[in-house]
Structure 1
Amino acid sequence: MSKRVVVTGMGVVSPNGVGLPDFLNAIQQGISGIRFVPHYADLHFSCQVAGVPPFEWDSLRPQISDVVLHGLKGVNIGYGLKAAVDAWTHAGYPLNTTETLWDTGCIFGNSVADTEAMKNVITRVDNKEVKKLGSRIVEQAMNSGVTSYIAGRLGLGNKVLTNSAACATGTQAILMGYEYIKHGMAKRMLTGSSEYVDTYVFGSFDSMRVLSRKYNDQPERASRPMSATAGGFIPGSGAAALMLEDLDTALERGATIYAEVLGGAGNSGGQRNGGSMTAANPEGVIRCITESLADAGITGADVDLISGHLTATIADKQEIMNWTKALGREGRDFPMVNSLKSMIGHCLSAAGTIESVASVLQLQHGFVHPNINLEDPHPGITAIIAETCLPTTLIKKDINIVAKANFGFGDVNSCIIFSKYNPE
């Protein structure tokens, strides 16, 4: 018998707010976390702005030992550890446990290791100073470093995995955790993802000429999903985590339930029929969404809000077209759609989980966050859906079901359906 899966805790490290209170205020007020980065100007990058979380390393001090903190160099691990521990405590669980929690696991994704930290390795090896590297470097270089740190801090003993699926990583992590609980393989799964876009990763994207370069002097206006003047995406860094639980377990301990995961799906377009390493096969996207609806036991008519991938590139128009076909809705009948990337940029592997936290907050507090920088919607988009579906100011509205999707390099797709918790 399938288990119902609910969200009982959240944590977030976002460019426009660290911690749930600051993040909630930011997305309600339409506050941007995009900032000018002088170092990128010094390096003559075309794009010189980024989404950078206001993160303080000392914020980890109450959560990990001074010894661990002193040796921790991987920024993406720091982000992920902060978000995960915040989600754990937000769910009401204690930090200091002495026993292994065999019924609780962790799936926490990321894409690439912190190359700035690895530069130190390369430099010391090339200078024949390998003995100066210390004993902590391997655990931070390995792709599973973030889950290892989280699981070790919390004593998690069920499945502990690091997934990686480019920009679909975050939603895929939540979906995998949901499936483990649904099929009775775990009672709880701490799910999330993290991303640190360091200088070298940022430079690689800049060389592709896919980043916005027209708003270096106006960073808060730079990220413009669905806009006629969108000029490319803005990389962002951060992390987020969602504590998922079997409903019976959550009810037994009297947990606060913030949302329910009704279902979801993931697939690949196979890089065929328009799909490629950097572009989505429309059929794959449509299948992913429709299979998510079917898994959730709902129809396209039930969706109140779409939290889109929508990166501020030429792919935005095609994404909206895919949604109209998957939901069977267009024009004024189309649900409202927003893109958190207008405020925080594209946080790559962390995008799906940060946007999922925003989705749950909108369900919980009854609002639709604005699309900032959308004073000029792309005419190709407003030709297929009504402009009223693209909110540019906060809308107070009861939201029951949110469809959250992300689509990544390699033509990979993931979609999750969140709903308000209904005891019946």
Structure 2
Amino acid sequence: MNTHNQNRVVITGMGVVAPNAIGVSAFAKALQQQTSGIRFDPQLADLNFGCQVSGTPQITEGLLAENFTNLQLRGLKATGLVYGVIAGKEAFKDAGLEIASPKEALSDMGIIFGTGQSGGEKFREAILLIDEKKVRRLGSTSVIQTMTSGISAWLAGELGCGNMVTSNSSACCTGTEAFLMGYERIAAGKATQMLVGSTSDSGPYIWGGFDAMRILPTKYNQDPENASRPLSNDAAGFVPGSGAGAFILESLDSALKRGAKIYGEVLGGALNSGGHRGDGSMTAPNGQAVQECIELALKDAQVKPKEIDAINGHLTATSKDGFEVKNWSQALNRSKNDFPVMNTFKSYVGHCLAAAGSIELVGTILQLKNNVVYGNRNITSLHPDITEMVSANSFPIQAVKTNINIIAKASFGFGDVNACVILKKYSV
């Protein structure tokens, strides 16, 4: 969707629940200090998973008490719902917004908050109780915990949002897709503010299928912090992660009118699919479609390839990392020393699946706001497929202070789906 000559859209609030930190300021510190949130996971070990490490957010009793009533917590087992509510409410508060009055919803504010699966633990409980013919013991919240739109519905009720309220689901692209969908709605004048983001459950019922596919690392169970190795020649598979990221997107006019702080501006973006054609499949990206998604995002944002200062990639720590860099290089027509600086946060948090795009977008926007590119952790040496195309200087190991005016963030997901967004430092 080309949204030019329509409303300018800015980011005025953020929230995050990540494996290495909870809360935006703590997350920024964790990325700066290269703190890993990947830990040994006793539950995966007890279930004989090959991969026994995970990126699981550390939710305290105090944090639960701040965000949920005792009644809400009764029987609440959907971890993704918990993460999403915490992140969404933080973003709302961070933006300085006020909850709707009891009598009237906020008609100009909507929600697009996605997830992959919801309530795996609750599903398990439901199946067992139904098999035991104890249906009435399921509890009144079993539906909202297990329906995909449960997260957006819960947040709408907490905050009183009366515009479009929905949940999207597109595998690893979910968060970036929700971000773009919210942006387009505001740019088109159909909403003034949108709470957007995504969340993903923790646990074996989400991660078991990936372990069965043997695409998770199995040799780092005693060395969890080194398990996720994007871009490295010895990358061994992605570490399963979870959490949530959330944003308040807002029309620039509204943000200025109420004196809101502005993290950055959304210039545009693109969504597409490779259709499982060419080299694309359910589990492998179509390189041509990836390149087209990047090119379409640049066109929508009216940005030239040379103007991209930094890239936050998808880069999952699999054999496809080099292929992704190649697609960026070809889409931008930039290689060797001309390639932008590039990083990924998956060495700190793992692959957070449906939450990956939104958690990583929080970090991407922090980089834009703070003029920093956080370092790439766990690179023994860059994969040779990468160094053939691009200078190693494009992949900093430590955090680097640098002026960023325009940054690109992309997510590429299971099902051969792609999302790319272009962000800019805000200026009048």
Q: 1:26 corresponds to which residue?
A: 30
**Cα distance per residue 1:44-97 (max 9 Å; x no partner):** 211110001111254143334332232432110010000000000000012463
Change (3 A) 1:123 1:3: same
Q: 1:212 corresponds to which residue?
A: 217
Does the 8 Å contact 1:265/1:416 carry over to 2? yes
Q: 2:86 corresponds to which residue?
A: 82
- Answering whether residue 368 of structure 2 is matched by residue 363 of structure 1, we say yes
- Taking the aligned partners of 2:167 and 2:19, their CA distance within structure 1 comes to 23
- Answering whether residue 402 of structure 2 is matched by residue 397 of structure 1, we say yes
- Taking the aligned partners of 2:99 and 2:76, their CA distance within structure 1 comes to 19
Does the 8 Å contact 1:109/1:164 carry over to 2? yes
Q: 148, 157, 161: which is aligned to 1:156? A: 161
Q: 1:245 corresponds to which residue?
A: 250
Q: 2:203 corresponds to which residue?
A: 198
- Answering whether residue 112 of structure 2 is matched by residue 107 of structure 1, we say yes
Does the 8 Å contact 2:10/2:252 carry over to 1? yes
- Taking the aligned partners of 1:26 and 1:216, their CA distance within structure 2 comes to 22
Q: 1:412 corresponds to which residue?
A: 417
Does the 8 Å contact 2:100/2:161 carry over to 1? no
- Answering whether residue 218 of structure 2 is matched by residue 189 of structure 1, we say no
SS of equivalent to 1:8: strand
Q: 1:319 corresponds to which residue?
A: 324
Q: Which segments of structure 1 move beyond 2 Å, counting only runs of 4 or more? A: 60-66, 69-73, 94-99
Return the letter of the residue paired with 2:232. Answer: S
Q: 37, 40, 55: which is aligned to 1:36? A: 40
**Cα distance per residue 1:107-162 (max 9 Å; x no partner):** 00000122111111011111111111122211111110000101110000000110
Q: 2:125 corresponds to which residue?
A: 120
Q: 48, 52, 67: which is aligned to 1:48? A: 52
Q: 1:225 corresponds to which residue?
A: 230
SS of equivalent to 1:61: helix
Q: Percent identity?
A: 49
Q: 2:346 corresponds to which residue?
A: 341
Q: 1:374 corresponds to which residue?
A: 379
Give the CA deviation at 1:29.
1.0
Give the CA deviation at 1:376.
1.2
SS of equivalent to 2:63: helix
- Taking the aligned partners of 1:40 and 1:69, their CA distance within structure 2 comes to 25
- Answering whether residue 297 of structure 2 is matched by residue 292 of structure 1, we say yes
Return the letter of the residue paired with 1:298. Answer: V
SS of equivalent to 2:27: helix
SS of equivalent to 1:403: strand
**Cα distance per residue 1:396-421 (max 9 Å; x no partner):** 11111110000111100000011100
Does the 8 Å contact 2:238/2:317 carry over to 1? yes
Does the 8 Å contact 1:81/1:146 carry over to 2? yes
**Cα distance per residue 1:308-336 (max 9 Å; x no partner):** 00000011111000000111100010001
SS of equivalent to 2:66: coil
SS of equivalent to 2:54: strand
Which stretch of the first structure deviates more once superposed, 36-45 or 146-155? 36-45
**Cα distance per residue 1:256-277 (max 9 Å; x no partner):** 0011001000000111000000
- Taking the aligned partners of 2:329 and 2:139, their CA distance within structure 1 comes to 54
Does the 8 Å contact 2:77/2:121 carry over to 1? no
- Answering whether residue 311 of structure 2 is matched by residue 306 of structure 1, we say yes
TM-score (norm 1): 0.98
Q: 227, 234, 243: which is aligned to 2:239? A: 234
Return the letter of the residue paired with 1:371. Answer: N
SS of equivalent to 1:140: helix
- Answering whether residue 134 of structure 2 is matched by residue 137 of structure 1, we say no
**Cα distance per residue 1:208-249 (max 9 Å; x no partner):** 000011111110000000100001000101001010000000
Q: 1:65 corresponds to which residue?
A: 69
> Gaps spanning 5+ residues in structure 2: where?
none
> Gaps spanning 5+ residues in structure 1: where?
none
Q: 324, 329, 334: which is aligned to 2:334? A: 329
Which stretch of the first structure deviates more once superposed, 48-57 or 401-410? 48-57
Does the 8 Å contact 1:265/1:288 carry over to 2? yes
Does the 8 Å contact 1:64/1:153 carry over to 2? no
- Taking the aligned partners of 1:289 and 1:134, their CA distance within structure 2 comes to 46
SS of equivalent to 1:82: helix
- Answering whether residue 13 of structure 2 is matched by residue 13 of structure 1, we say no
SS of equivalent to 2:311: strand
- Taking the aligned partners of 1:355 and 1:218, their CA distance within structure 2 comes to 24
Q: 2:182 corresponds to which residue?
A: 177
Q: 1:91 corresponds to which residue?
A: 95
Report the count of equivalent residues: 423
Does the 8 Å contact 2:75/2:139 carry over to 1? no
Which stretch of the first structure deviates more once superposed, 129-138 or 150-159? 129-138
